[in-house]
Structure 1
């Protein structure tokens, strides 16, 4: 049996019933073959970054998985499609966005996948829920607390009682 790794997946939605969609997506990720365990952060509300549209609901999931990175990416994209995800243009509003943020500390750069996610260290909506799950995780750019301080201008609201 393959060794498991810890992966972090960012979840976001700003169309439809976002909280319900994120809960369903977390359940679907948990049920994937090769996902041994899943924890999800509390949910947050954030304004779109470099885009327009309604506010987002965001969270981060921590997975223990035996899946290869691109296999996990394929599964995440299938879940997005099942929720009606369309990609009409960059940063378009979306029913569901699942981003593979981190995969066992590995650096991956392929045509399809860049891990760690290249902008996660600049996004409060990723850093806060990531810190909820892994407060001691350190990215190449610094500790989560240092990076959160650098994002102090980004408004983020923790939603009450919204953990999946």
Structure 2
């Protein structure tokens, strides 16, 4: 059996019931094989970046997993599909978006997966919730570089 790897997943949705979709996705992630949900960030509201549609609800989850990165990606895509995710065009509004942000110290560049996520350092909706649960993964300079992007923590429920 493989040693568990710490991975971080970005969650977002802006169609349907986004808060409910993120909570359901977190429950599904926690039940993945060989995987434990270690912690999750607060929920945040952010304006779409390079996209249209209503505001997004975002979060980041830390997991410990014995899955490989491609296996984890396949599981995340299955959760998205079950939530009604469609991909009619790039950056389309979505019922659920799950991005594999970091997978241990791995650097992966394949046709289907890039880790670290190639645009994570450009997006407050990733860096702010990631910094909440894993401050060692985000520098002050990175946070300053996205400080002009509107993002607000939602009250806990």
Structure 2 match to 1:86: 86
CA displacement, residues 25-53 of structure 1 (integer Å, 9 cap, x when unaligned)? 00000000010333110010000001110
Task: Give 1:115-134 correspondences, 5 Å limit.
Answer: 115-134=115-134
Aligned to 1:149: 144
For structure 1, the residue ranges without an aligned partner over 5 or more in a row are none
Name the stretch that deviates more: 58-67 or 145-154: 145-154
> How far is the alpha carbon of 1:152 from its aligned partner?
1.3
Return the offset for 1:68. Answer: 0.2
CA RMSD for the aligned pairs?
0.9
1:26 is matched with 26
Contact 2:37 2:61 survives alignment (8 Å): no
Deviation at residue 159 of structure 1 after TM alignment: 0.4
Q: What is aligned with 1:159?
A: 154
Partner of 1:110: 110
Runs of at least 5 residues in structure 2 that lack an aligned partner in the other structure:
none
Counterparts of residues 49-60 of structure 1 (less than 5 Å): 49-60=49-60
Compute the displacement of 1:90 (Å). 0.2
Q: How many residues align?
A: 157
Mapped to 2, the partners of 1:37 and 1:43 lie a distance apart of 16
- Residues of 2 paired with 1:110 and 1:11: CA distance? 21
| 1:36-47 to 2 correspondences below 5 Å | 36-47=36-47
State the match for 1:96 in structure 2: 96
Q: TM-score, normalised by structure 1?
A: 0.93
